[in-house]
Amino acid sequence: MKVLLLEDEQSIRDFVRINMKRQGYDVVEAASGEEALSAADLHPDLDIAILDVMLPGISGFEVCQQLRNRYPRLGIIMLTAKGQEADKIAGLEYGADDYVVKPFSPAELVARVKSLYRRMHADAPKAEAKDDAVLRSHPFTLRLDERKLYKNGVEVDLTPKELEILKLLMENGDKAVSRDDILSSVWGKFYVGDLKIVDVNIRRIRQKIEEDASHPVYLETVWGYGYLWRKGHHDERT
């Protein structure tokens, strides 16, 4: 696994790098947002990016947004300050998959990296086993082999997490899925974050697939419970 580590404090960067290398990871370091973006361009085979929020120059949020736009399938973990709830939500809004609160233990960070990597690749064997698997829900086509969503034939850029959520909801079309079930299915049973991460990702998905995200037609809210994918008239799985 190749990991991009963006942290401006040398001591923290050394601390994280040492622990990552002990796990056998290839670590690419950056001390500023500008360095991180350049490093990502030089290493297109990156699997995970770990981004600090508070940085000299451009912020970790901006780096997150640019990386997400350039590399939609890159796993991103934000390092946020303790008690800064707004930072957690902002990071998720900008495209992060997860966050770790400072101060953190090396074991926690390594566990989050491993967990995110596993989730990113969880469907690969299934896709290889049946490479023509497709979910259709007019006007959408979710190609499981490609891990891509198309709307009226045009690709919609979704993050790995957004794709997993959409797959779960489309497979349960017209059936409400609870926030707890989405969290457990997509982030894992032992994920220690809160349910807001589900709501933030749902909001991002709506912005990408709905004509009017404030009045969703396809991805509906079931108040006090969770979310529901409203099936079209020609839905099928091949």
Q: What is the pLDDT of residues 106-117, one digit of tens each?
A: 888 999 899 888
d(CA 89, CA 197): 8
Looking at residues 84-108, what average pLDDT do you find?
84
Q: What whole-number distance in Å separates Cα of residue 101 and Cα of residue 138?
A: 40
Q: Which of 103, 144, 111 is nearest to 125 (CA)?
A: 144
Q: Taken in order 186, 189, 190, 196, is the CA torsion positive or negative?
A: positive
For residues 74 and 170, give the distance between their C-alpha atoms in angstroms, rounded to a whole number.
23
Do 226 and 181 form a contact (C-beta atoms < 8 A)? yes
Across the chain, mean pLDDT equals 86
Using DSSP's 3-state secondary structure scheme, residue 155 falls into strand
| Cα separation, 68 vs 160, whole angstroms | 11
Q: What was the pLDDT predicted at 25?
A: 94
Q: How far apart are CA 18 and CA 227, in angstroms?
A: 41
Highest mean pLDDT out of 85-94, 119-128, 143-152: 143-152
The residue with tokens 């850029």 is 157
Cis peptide before 139 (omega within 30 of 0): yes
- Contacts of residue 215, defined as CB under 8 A and 6 or more positions apart, other chains included, come to none
pLDDT band at 237 (very low <50, low <70, confident <90, very high): very low
pLDDT confidence of 88, banded at 50, 70, 90? Answer: confident
pTM: 0.66
What is the H or E stretch that residue 48 is in? strand 48-52
Q: What is the pLDDT of residues 29-40, one digit of tens each?
A: 999 999 999 999
User: Which pLDDT score is estimated for 50?
Assistant: 96
Helices 179-187, 196-209: axis angle to 10 degrees equals 90
pLDDT score of 232:
66
